[in-house]
């Protein structure tokens, strides 16, 4: 058994090469198109599990899936002033199609507010149509300068929800509700413990009144924005003329929200849980939850242990567990151990001829790298089912403790910078709210304000901005983010 325990992770702030890890674990590959990746079957299977789990939760909220065009007239993007400023520099533009120059260029959606709200203006007529709640699973393109597999790619896959409401209160409640849906999903399914709160003005979505965010502390001490939910107010509604007749038959503009998570979540899973041997996948999003490895010398032994592996995997599959036998004759058991550890499979079952004789198996928990010998063959499926739950819970606790242990108060920029240099994490600092001083934090401590948390903002005492000494209403969380 290795010495690793859940909370003894690699030293923080060391840079894990995510791209290298993603490629070695066969999740993805570089493509010949700048900044675009190929999601390979093992990586895509994680995305399918994410989609299935999250789609169900979104539908339970009463939201319906739909599909809107990939291409958006350039003029649409320009209708909302902040929005075009935020997204125009990142757009890929179609200027020619069908052999001719287009009269108006089309941009590939960087996000779909404009095209969806154009349609909302046709569809929404009365207060009876509200709330109007749509979700879309789609690809989007943002021409980023620096890309990194899963975390920041030119094209990525995501879901974007869009809802229209009769009042600002309703929209605010909805934006918070979807943040809670994401929170619940990330904690229960991805085994991550994100910090939630509200973004500063400079980090707000282009065109939103408020942006709420979920921020995950990764094993390397850096922070990843894993999802956002925006209360958009009436800016887009006015730009796209989305009016409804209220109960007094007067026209009013709707109040909008939008919210999304993307294939970046796969990056969050990788960097939120990995150790020195590779990925550690939470069982709920592990394409293979149990890998059975036959251990044998002779052909006769091979047949026996393979039969036993098949029998065990068959039993597990009946219980809905995603299990597989690695029957590859080209690789040694040791090489197989390494490969499936790298790929993060939660439980490994090893079976040799002696195990069959003794009616037992050996189990290895990936998260703890813990070998459990002499596990009785009787009740094995039940034991594995329980163990998968334990691993799921344990990974969540590990990420949660990691965040708690690496959240610290800092009362000067120097202190903040020093601590972030050492271990990364979330620094809690007082900040007066000015963009100028926010920029100073970035300059000195190479850190951005991640969120103003909901609870702290209320409960905590006021203080003084660590940059200016001006009054601060309560501490915000800063850190170095991907």
Provide the binding-site residues for a second copy, judged by CB under 8 A.
29, 31-33, 36-41, 44-45, 47-48, 64-73, 76, 88-99, 105-106, 108, 115, 118-119, 122-123, 128, 134, 138-139, 141, 143, 145, 154-155, 157, 330
CA dist 390 → 381, 387, 460 (Å) = 14, 5, 35
Distances, alpha carbon 344 to alpha carbons 19, 70, 366, 378, in Å: 16, 35, 7, 26
CB 281 to a second copy: min, Å: 17
What phi, psi does 155 have (nearest 5°)? -110, 140
Output the smallest distance, CB 33 to a second copy, in A: 5
Q: Closer to a second copy by CB, 263 or 472: give it.
A: 263
As measured in angstroms, the least distance from the Cβ of 105 to a second copy is 8
CB closer to a second copy, 132 vs 212: 132
237-239-245-247 Cα dihedral, nearest 10 degrees: 40
**Could you give the CA distance from residue 245 to residue 381 in angstroms, rounded to a whole number?**
59
Minimal distance in Å, beta carbon 161 to a second copy? 13
- CA separation for the pair 279, 21 (Å, rounded): 8
Provide Rg for the chain, Cα atoms: 25
Nearest distance, CB of residue 99 and a second copy, angstroms: 5
From the centroid of its chain, how far is CA 412? 31
Nearer to a second copy, 149 or 223 (CB): 149
Report how far apart the first and last C-alpha atoms of the chain are (Å, whole number).
33
Of 91 and 218, nearer to a second copy (C-beta) is 91
Dihedral sign, CA of 337, 280, 55, 45?
Answer: negative
Quote the least distance from Cβ 69 to a second copy, whole Å.
4
- Whether 260 and 232 have beta carbons less than 8 Å apart is answered as no
* DSSP annotation of 406: T
Q: Which is nearer to a second copy, 231 or 343 (CB)?
A: 343
- Whole-angstrom Cα distance, residue 88 to residue 142? 9
**Closest distance between a second copy and the C-beta of residue 455, in Å?**
36
Pairing mode of beta strands 28-30, 37-39: antiparallel
Cβ-based nearer residue to a second copy, 117 or 212: 117
DSSP letters for 189-200: TS----EEEE--
Minimum CB distance to a second copy, residue 243 (Å)? 18
| Nearer CB in complex with a second copy: 145/299 | 145
When the beta carbons of 96 and 297 are compared against a second copy, the nearer one is 96
């Amino acid at each position: 058994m290795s010495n690793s325990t859940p909370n003894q992770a690699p030293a923080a702030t060391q840079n894990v090469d995510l791209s290298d890890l993603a490629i070695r674990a066969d999740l993805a590959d570089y493509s010949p198109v700048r900044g675009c990746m190929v999601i390979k079957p093992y990586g895509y299977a994680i995305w399918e599990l994410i989609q299935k789990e999250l789609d169900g939760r979104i539908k339970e909220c009463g939201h319906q899936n739909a599909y809107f065009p990939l291409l958006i007239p350039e003029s649409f993007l320009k209708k909302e002033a902040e929005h075009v400023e935020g997204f125009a520099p990142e757009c890929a533009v179609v200027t020619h199609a069908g052999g001719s120059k287009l009269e108006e260029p089309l941009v590939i959606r960087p996000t779909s507010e404009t095209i969806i709200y154009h349609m909302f203006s046709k569809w929404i007529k009365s207060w009876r149509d509200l709330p109007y709640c749509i979700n879309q699973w789609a690809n989007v393109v943002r021409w980023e300068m620096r890309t990194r597999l899963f975390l920041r790619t030119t094209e990525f896959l995501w879901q974007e929800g869009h809802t229209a409401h009769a009042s600002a209160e309703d929209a605010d409640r909805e934006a918070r509700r979807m943040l809670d849906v994401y929170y619940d999903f990330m904690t229960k399914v991805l085994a991550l413990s994100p910090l939630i709160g509200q973004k500063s003005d400079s980090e707000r979505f282009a065109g939103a009144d408020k942006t709420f965010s979920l921020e995950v502390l990764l094993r390397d001490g850096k922070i990843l924005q894993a999802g956002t939910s925006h209360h958009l107010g009436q800016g887009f509604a006015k730009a796209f003329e989305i009016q409804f007749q209220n109960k007094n038959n007067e026209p009013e503009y709707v109040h909008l929200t939008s919210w999304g998570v993307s294939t970046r979540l796969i990056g969050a899973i990788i960097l939120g849980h990995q150790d020195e041997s590779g990925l550690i996948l939470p069982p709920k999003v592990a394409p293979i939850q149990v890998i059975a490895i036959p251990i044998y010398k002779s052909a006769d032994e091979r047949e026996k242990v393979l039969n036993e592996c098949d029998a065990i995997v068959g039993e597990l599959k009946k219980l809905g567990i995603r299990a597989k036998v690695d029957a590859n004759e080209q690789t040694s058991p040791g090489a197989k151990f390494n490969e499936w550890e790298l790929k993060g499979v939660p439980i490994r079952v090893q079976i040799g001829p002696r195990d069959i004789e003794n009616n037992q198996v050996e189990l290895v928990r990936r998260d703890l790298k813990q070998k459990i010998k002499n596990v009785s063959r009787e009740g094995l499926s039940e034991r594995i089912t329980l163990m998968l739950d334990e691993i799921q819970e344990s990974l969540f606790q590990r990420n949660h403790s990691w965040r708690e242990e690496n959240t610290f108060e800092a009362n000067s920029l120097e202190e903040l910078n020093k601590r972030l240099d050492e271990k990364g994490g979330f620094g809690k600092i007082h900040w007066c709210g000015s963009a100028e001083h926010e920029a100073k934090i970035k300059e000195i401590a190479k850190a951005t304000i991640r969120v103003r948390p909901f609870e702290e903002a209320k409960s905590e005492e006021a203080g003084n901005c660590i940059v200016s000494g001006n009054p601060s209403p309560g501490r915000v969380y800063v850190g170095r983010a991907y």
